[in-house]
A and B are shown apart, each in its own frame.
Chain A
Amino acid sequence: MKILLEKSAFDIETYLKNGGYEALKKALSMKREDIIEEVKKSNLRGRGGAGFPCGLKWSFIPKTEGPKYLVCNSDESEPGTFKDREIIHKNPHSLIEGMAIAAYAIGAQTGYIYIRGEFARETRIIEKSLAEARSKNFLGSGILGRNFSFDIKVVRGAGAYICGEETALLESIEGKKGQPRLKPPFPAVKGLYQCPTVINNVETLASVPYIVLHGGSAYASIGVGKSAGTKLFSVSGPVKKPGVYEIELGMPFKKFFEEELGGMREGEKLKAVIVGGSSVPVLTAQEAMAANLDYESLQQAGTMLGSGGMIIIPERQCMVEALFILARFYHHESCGQCTPCREGTGWIEKLMKKILEGKGASEDVDNILSISENMMGRTICPLADALAMPAISFIKKFEHEFNAHIKGNCNLCRK
């Protein structure tokens, strides 16, 4: 069962032939509350990483007069994640249609697509698709003859991972440093330019047309339990077939790994899996093989579905080096606002470098664990946790590799 990537449509004519914008037509004949009700019923959860129920998020928007905004988070920057890019490449109008429906449901007049600055090609695709949608009056004033006007502006980021955090993203649209805001107030109350704002991920919004067209319960019946629908997984690492896959939530990892990814490349052996982007706890091969790919199963397995950015780590990759690379990344990307994150990510990077270079002692490993514990939950946004969680899991699950580095006999780094 595929929804997002079932049929590619590079231009609006193909999208229309595939039944595109029928959902928007249907939505505009529905009551706004009823659309939100259907999205609630669908159990669609935020696909950017946090997994917050989408319909509930929309329902927080006050029904007052005055400007409201819909923002699409297309700042895809979590290491291992490249799924939204695939939607933009293969089905850009599903995003625009989803946004038009969402805007109608929450009463937004203006939408923003905030796209990471490096995605120059993707920005051009979106601009072209927006122009096509405007030419057919799916955007603009009096959309399809109704009393509903909505248009979308594109804002390019400039290379800051933190802008994927929704309030940092708002700051960035406002032309400031991307530093997350203290919450509450939440964006639904005071968001962009202090007005009520909904921020959704590309994949979340692109799933909306299906829900409107087929009903919330049809979507809820796909997947497993509270993990409804399909999910994109972007897979990297030395598997036979890396790439972006759309699967029904609940598929066993083992089946996904063997049947879709074709297993490991010749000469490679599976050691570990980062299931949902670099900020989630790592799983050993054995743990991964026993897990199913849905929100609840992965939580039970001690990790998170996150963004679906799956990094397959082979036996040959030293885990000390891998954690150093992640620590360097999070330190580089910390916005510097909160001390536990700004200093903690830096300390972990330094200690990891020391251990990696064979100059570490076992106290250094203990210190990383202690720093991680003291970072978690003590900052404005979850970037600190995004390093602390992998750090703790890497050390606990691959302690022997850290010990080998301390003793100066890591076989993997010597080659």
Chain B
Amino acid sequence: MLGENFRKDFQKIMASSADAQSAVLALLHEIQKENGYVSEEDACELSELTKIPYSRIKAVMTFYTMYNLKKTGKYHIQLCRNLSCHMAGAPALKQAIEKNLGIKEGEITKDGLFSFCEVECLGSCGTAPVIMVNETYHENMDEAGLEKLIENLRGNFKK
């Protein structure tokens, strides 16, 4: 079910778009902001709200990789796997993340706090390796920095 917050933003986004179809990317971003991912049900509801055929919404949400199609953790960790990050130590970071969280790439922790996946170039190659947690970049990342970051995120949650 799309929530109250979404419905408020919905009107705003529709009003500032040239037409309903042009609003789809922004609307999907909003859904994801609220729920962490875009579910089939939410996409169906969006289709009804916008009067855009479901197939066209599905086409968009499956084309663009930023839309998560399954549940993600409260903190969704994405590690760049492209060349500059690779040379700067991304493979070791991948191992460290998996070990620390006790999950494999593409999985979510049992408590729902973390999920982890690899992504293609994040456009931050000069400060490689880079990881992104939700919408925030963490650059020049190393294993010690990673430990600290995950610890902080766990701490935030407990508070």
Number of interface residues of B (CB under 8 A): 42
What CA separation (Å) do A235 and B125 show in the bound complex?
8
Number of interface residues of A (CB under 8 A): 53
A-contacting 9-mer, from B18-26, B101-109, B151-159: B18-26
| B154 → A minimal CB distance (Å) | 23
Chain A residues whose C-beta falls within 8 Å of the C-beta of B28 in the assembled complex: 158
A158-B29, A236-B125 are known contacts. Are A317 and B120 too (CB-CB below 8 A)? no
A322 touches B120 (CB 8 A): no
Chain A residues whose C-beta falls within 8 Å of the C-beta of B60 in the assembled complex: 175-177
What CA separation (Å) do A81 and B81 show in the bound complex?
15
Q: Which residue of A lies closest to B26 (CB)?
A: A156
A329 touches B87 (CB 8 A): no
A242 touches B126 (CB 8 A): yes
A175 touches B23 (CB 8 A): yes
| A388 → B minimal CB distance (Å) | 17
Contact with A along B13-50 (1 / 0, CB 8 A): 00011111111111011000000000000000000000
- The answer to whether B111 has its CB under 8 Å from any CB of chain A is no
A158-B67, A329-B82 are known contacts. Are A176 and B120 too (CB-CB below 8 A)? no
Chain A 65-107 residues near chain B, CB threshold 8 A: 76-82, 85
B-contacting 9-mer, from A11-19, A50-58, A116-124, A183-191: A116-124
Contact with B along A147-163 (1 / 0, CB 8 A): 00000010111111100
What CA separation (Å) do A193 and B21 show in the bound complex?
12
Chain A residues whose C-beta falls within 8 Å of the C-beta of B22 in the assembled complex: 173-175
Contact with B along A303-343 (1 / 0, CB 8 A): 00000010101100100011001100100110100000000
- The answer to whether B132 has its CB under 8 Å from any CB of chain A is yes
Q: Contacting A82 at CB < 8 Å: which of B17, B20, B63, B123?
A: B123
Q: Which residue of A lies closest to B82 (CB)?
A: A79
What CA separation (Å) do A202 and B42 show in the bound complex?
35
| B38 → A minimal CB distance (Å) | 10
| B104 → A minimal CB distance (Å) | 18
What CA separation (Å) do A403 and B87 show in the bound complex?
22
- The answer to whether A212 has its CB under 8 Å from any CB of chain B is no
What CA separation (Å) do A332 and B82 show in the bound complex?
12
Contact with A along B53-88 (1 / 0, CB 8 A): 000100110011111000000000000011110111
A317 touches B87 (CB 8 A): yes
A157-B64, A158-B65 are known contacts. Are A79 and B126 too (CB-CB below 8 A)? no
| A91 → B minimal CB distance (Å) | 17
B66 touches A80 (CB 8 A): no
A156 touches B29 (CB 8 A): yes
Chain B residues whose C-beta falls within 8 Å of the C-beta of A177 in the assembled complex: 59-60, 63
A311 touches B83 (CB 8 A): yes
A120 touches B135 (CB 8 A): yes
What CA separation (Å) do A77 and B124 show in the bound complex?
10
Chain A 266-283 residues near chain B, CB threshold 8 A: 274, 278
- The answer to whether A140 has its CB under 8 Å from any CB of chain B is no
Chain A residues whose C-beta falls within 8 Å of the C-beta of B19 in the assembled complex: 175
Chain B residues whose C-beta falls within 8 Å of the C-beta of A274 in the assembled complex: 83
A172 touches B83 (CB 8 A): no
B18 touches A78 (CB 8 A): no
Q: Which residue of A lies closest to B28 (CB)?
A: A158
- The answer to whether B149 has its CB under 8 Å from any CB of chain A is no
What CA separation (Å) do A244 and B125 show in the bound complex?
10
Q: Contacting A118 at CB < 8 Å: which of B21, B66, B82, B87?
A: B66
Q: Contacting B125 at CB < 8 Å: which of A173, A311, A321, A332?
A: A311
Q: Which residue of A lies closest to B64 (CB)?
A: A158
| A158 → B minimal CB distance (Å) | 3
| A279 → B minimal CB distance (Å) | 12
Chain A residues whose C-beta falls within 8 Å of the C-beta of B84 in the assembled complex: 79-80, 236-237, 311
Q: Contacting A172 at CB < 8 Å: which of B25, B59, B119, B127?
A: B25
Contact with B along A192-230 (1 / 0, CB 8 A): 010000000000000000000000000000000000000
Q: Which residue of B lies closest to A323 (CB)?
A: B83
* A-B complex: 3 closest residue pairs judged by Cβ atoms: A158-B64, A159-B66, A236-B125
Given A82-B125, A175-B24, A237-B87; 15 other pairs, CB 8 A cutoff: A78-B121, A79-B82, A80-B84, A82-B126, A157-B25, A157-B64, A158-B25, A160-B65, A193-B18, A242-B127, A309-B125, A311-B125, A325-B86, A329-B82, A332-B65
Q: What are 5 A-B contacts defined by CB distance under 8 Å?
A: A118-B132, A118-B137, A156-B26, A160-B63, A321-B86
Residues of B whose CB lies within 8 Å of any CB of A are 16-26, 28-29, 56, 59-60, 63-67, 81-84, 86-88, 119-128, 132, 135-137
